[in-house]
Amino acid sequence: MPFYEVVTVMATLFCIIYFFYRRQCCKHPILTDYPILGMLPQPLFNLWRIHDFVTEAMKRIGRTGEFTGPWFTNMDYMVTCDPFNVHHMLSKNFHNYVKGPEFREIFQAFGDGIFTADSDTWKYNRSLFHSLFKNNTFQLFLENTIQQKVQNCLLPVLNHVQQQGTVVDLQDVFNRFTFDNICSIILGHDPNCLSIDFPEVETEKAFNEVEESIFYRHTTPKCVWKLQKCVQIGQEKKMTQACKTFDVFVHACIASKREELSKWTKDQMNEQTHVDLLTILMREHQNQQEVVHDDKFLRDAVFNLFVAGRDTITSALTWFFWLVATNPLVEKKILQEIKHNFGGKVGVLSVEDVKNLVYLHGAICEALRLFPPIPFERKQAIEDDMLPSGHSVKKNTIVLLSLYAMGRFEDIWGEDCMEFKPERWVSERGGIVPEPSYKFMAFNAGPRTCLGKDLSFIQMKMVATAILCKYNVQVVEDHVPMPSLSIVLLMKDGLKVRITKREA
């Protein structure tokens, strides 16, 4: 027998044996496992609707299953949307499930910030930001910043659009609003993205491209995107350029802030007007004569806070306004609640004011349940474990938690789970119905629960009341929103609407 025939026979036997070995190891397959390609073809063909595709797959096999990628690519995952498994991993057995080195490699742009860190680095970051967010001076600064941005920029832009009678991308408006807001809150610098001429801001665009590239790394074998990164082609080239653009912007802000602080007197150091987060981080250790927060730490902190306080809010507001605009009865009840609490004339509400809006709070929770800004969470097991569902998790296994799918299971949220129903969050006594975080995971769960949860609700309520009281938001005909391919659940083509004055 010729040598090439021997090689062919041996290769064929190896493939057959390996194929059945994989089948044996994968006891709970989510999809059909093809030779060589694994289960990857089906998600790729359905990438344009990937979150709904995953939801449908999970409903067929139950709340938990296994995904195997192409052979020898290390793209094998456990996938779950079971609240009891989530509670086990994120709370009860928290220390066994970490972000891990692979996560940090994929999310390289995040650096060593709070979202990618584990162990002592994570504890330090969390403790630091917890103290900053609880600072009364900072909370007052945050409230004033949001109120001024809504009053002086958001409403005038919408009023201009209404007068022109043009179609506007409301998601783009929110993108600009949150970018200006987060820059002001974190850096003490307002880039003025939100204005009637809708200027193109290179940094804001670069930030979006980074997030899209990170999603791409999740859907591509590591060897492929690593090669693209090495030779600087395709999506990886975009990511490198985008990171450079963002880093130049942030480092310029850091350098400017350092120079500004170096000129301050002791009295100026104690003034309560300078309370953006970057100033606080620098000022604390300048007062203590310690050099702890170097430029890299500050850059990573800024990037992580941008993700937490910018795109997540944009996503939540965009889906909320689409849901409200397409559910007029809900809109009517929100307006009735506002009128009941504040009468006919409503300006930009304060933090204390928005706490009284229970039905609005429920409507925002419903939007977050159906369209969580971060649609999936990724964890890695340190040691072997057994999930409450009975599924075995081997050491180093990557576990994907589908928040999007979790909000669409009837046995979790009831037969009406696909309905936009704020009433499910309002008790008979008129209070908020508390749902456990492992069931309603929009703000994560366990020790890693989002520190900015309350601040996020405050901002969304202030924006929602300011817009709804003054304007009707009408989605243009035939506009079908589709989730974008990004780590944040934005609308692919934006939210195209017409703005009209609301009659008194």
Q: State the binding site for heme.
A: 450
Six-digit token pair at 182? 């987060």
β partners of residue 29? 66
What is the SS3 string spanning 173-233?
Answer: HHHHHHHHHHHHHHHCCCCCCCCCCCCCCHHHHHHHHHHHHHHHHHHCCHHHHHHHHHHCC
Q: Which of 456, 469, 467 is nearest to 142 (CA)?
A: 456
Six-digit token pair at 191? 């880039």
Q: What is the DSSP letter of 503?
A: P
Six-digit token pair at 288? 């203590």
Longest dimension (CA), the chain: 92
Q: Is 148 helix (H, G, I), strand (E, B) or coil?
A: helix
* The dihedral formed by the CA atoms of 238, 239, 240 and 244, expressed in degrees to the nearest 10: 100
Residue 108 and residue 123: Cα distance in Å, rounded?
A: 20
Q: Which of 67, 84, 85 is nearest to 76 (CA)?
A: 67
Sign of CA pseudo-dihedral 110, 111, 115, 116:
positive
Q: Which of 406, 405, 440, 205 is nearest to 311 (CA)?
A: 205
**Cα 17 to Cα 5, 52, 72, 75, 170, distances in angstroms:** 18, 34, 14, 20, 54
What is the SS3 string spanning 237-280?
Answer: HHHHHHHHHHHHHHHHHHHHHHHHHHCCCHHHHCCCCCCCHHHH
Q: Is 119 exposed, middle or buried (0-12, 13-18, 19+ CB in 10 A)?
A: exposed
How many secondary structure helices (H) and strands (E) does the chain include? 22, 10
Residue 389 and residue 385: Cα distance in Å, rounded?
A: 12
Cβ atoms of 312 and 288 closer than 8 Å: no
Task: Write out the binding residues.
Answer: 450
H or E stretch covering 121: helix 119-133
Six-digit token pair at 20? 């059945």
